[in-house]
C-alpha cells in the first residue's frame, strides 16, 4: 500500500495522458473504501476504469497499484485481483448457474456450490432458477447476474461501470446497498462509476469528479 499522510492509497496515478480523453496530473484512490466516480458523458470515466484494470495503457505517465507500477505487472494476474464489470456485461450461452461460475473458471478458481450461487443472487436481488437459460433474462436481470458473478470472484478490488443503470431507482438502491454492505464486511475496495448523485452521496466514502477535457 502507498502511505500518504497516514492514509493508505491502493492506486496512485501520476502524469497520465490518454489520447484527448484523460489528462490526470495526480490522483490517489484509497484502499478499503467505496470510491464513486461521477462526471458528464465523455469525461473519461470508463476509460479511467479500463486503465486501472490494465485493459488500456496510458500514452504517458504511471499507474501504481499497491506501490507496483502496472507496467511491471502481468495484466492477467492483475485482472484477477482487480475485477472490472462493464456497463454492458457479457452474458454467455448457457444457464444462470454456468454464467455465475464462469468468472471463477476464468480465474482458475473452483466453481461454487449451488447454495453459494443462490446467496450471491440474493445479494443482487435476483430471484431466479439456476437452471434457467441466462439469455432469457431482461436487461436489468442480466446486469444483476453479471454483478453476482463478479461478487463470487471475491477480488481485492471491484471496478464497476454503472452496474445498475438498467434498474429503476428503488431496485438500484437495494442492489447497491446490499452489494456495498458485503464489500465492507469483507474489507474489500470498490471503485464505481455511477450516474446517480444520490447513490454517490449516500454510499461513497470518497468521490472523484471528472470533467470533459476541452481541446
Is 83 buried (19+), middle (13-18) or exposed (0-12) by CB count in 10 A? buried
State how far the Cα of 159 lies from the Cα of 157, in Å rounded to an integer: 6
Please provide the average confidence, as pLDDT, over all residues in the chain: 93
What is the pTM (predicted TM-score) of this model? 0.93
What confidence category does residue 184 fall into, taking pLDDT thresholds of 50, 70 and 90?
A: very high
Condensed to tens digits (0 to 9), the pLDDT of residues 48-81 reads 999 999 999 999 999 999 999 999 999 999 999 9
Structural domain 2-90+155-210, CATH architecture = 3-Layer(aba) Sandwich (3.40)
What is the per-residue pLDDT for 7?
A: 52
State how far the Cα of 171 lies from the Cα of 148, in Å rounded to an integer: 15
Q: Which three cell numbers stand for residue 150?
A: 463478479
Q: Which residues of 182-209 are buried (b: 16+ CB within 10 A; e: fewer)?
A: bbeeeebbbbbbbebeebbeebbeeebe
State how far the Cα of 176 lies from the Cα of 197, in Å rounded to an integer: 13
What is the per-residue pLDDT for 2?
A: 43
Nearest alpha carbon to residue 124 among 158, 94, 156, 92: 158
Range with the poorest average pLDDT among 21-30, 137-146, 204-213: 204-213
What confidence category does residue 153 fall into, taking pLDDT thresholds of 50, 70 and 90?
A: very high
What is the per-residue pLDDT for 9?
A: 85
Condensed to tens digits (0 to 9), the pLDDT of residues 157-166 reads 999 999 999 9
Domain extent listing, the chain: 2-90+155-210
The enclosing H or E element of 82 equals strand 82-85
State how far the Cα of 211 lies from the Cα of 213, in Å rounded to an integer: 6
Amino acid at each position: 500500500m502507498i502511505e500518504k499522510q497516514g492514509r493508505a492509497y491502493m492506486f496512485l496515478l501520476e502524469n497520465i495522458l490518454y489520447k484527448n480523453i484523460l489528462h490526470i496530473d495526480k490522483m490517489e484512490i484509497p484502499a478499503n473504501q467505496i470510491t464513486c466516480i461521477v462526471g458528464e458523458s465523455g469525461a473519461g470515466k470508463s476509460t479511467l476504469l479500463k486503465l486501472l484494470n490494465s485493459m488500456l495503457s496510458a500514452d504517458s505517465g504511471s499507474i501504481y497499484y499497491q506501490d507496483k507500477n502496472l507496467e511491471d505487472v502481468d495484466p492477467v494476474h492483475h485482472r484477477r485481483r482487480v475485477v472490472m464489470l462493464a456497463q454492458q456485461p457479457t452474458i454467455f450461452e448457457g444457464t444462470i448457474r454456468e454464467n455465475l461460475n464462469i468468472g471463477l473458471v476464468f480465474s482458475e478458481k473452483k466453481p461454487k456450490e449451488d447454495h453459494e450461487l443462490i446467496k450471491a443472487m440474493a445479494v443482487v436481488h435476483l430471484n431466479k432458477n439456476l437452471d434457467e437459460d441466462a439469455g432469457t433474462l431482461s436487461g436489468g436481470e442480466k446486469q444483476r447476474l453479471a454483478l453476482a458473478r463478479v461478487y463470487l470472484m471475491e477480488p481485492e478490488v471491484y471496478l464497476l461501470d454503472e452496474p445498475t443503470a438498467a434498474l429503476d431507482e428503488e431496485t438500484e438502491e437495494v442492489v447497491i446497498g446490499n452489494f456495498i454492505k458485503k464489500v465492507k464486511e469483507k474489507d474489500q475496495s470498490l471503485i464505481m462509476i455511477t450516474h446517480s448523485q444520490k447513490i454517490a452521496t449516500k454510499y461513497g466514502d470518497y468521490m472523484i469528479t471528472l470533467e470533459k477535457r476541452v481541446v
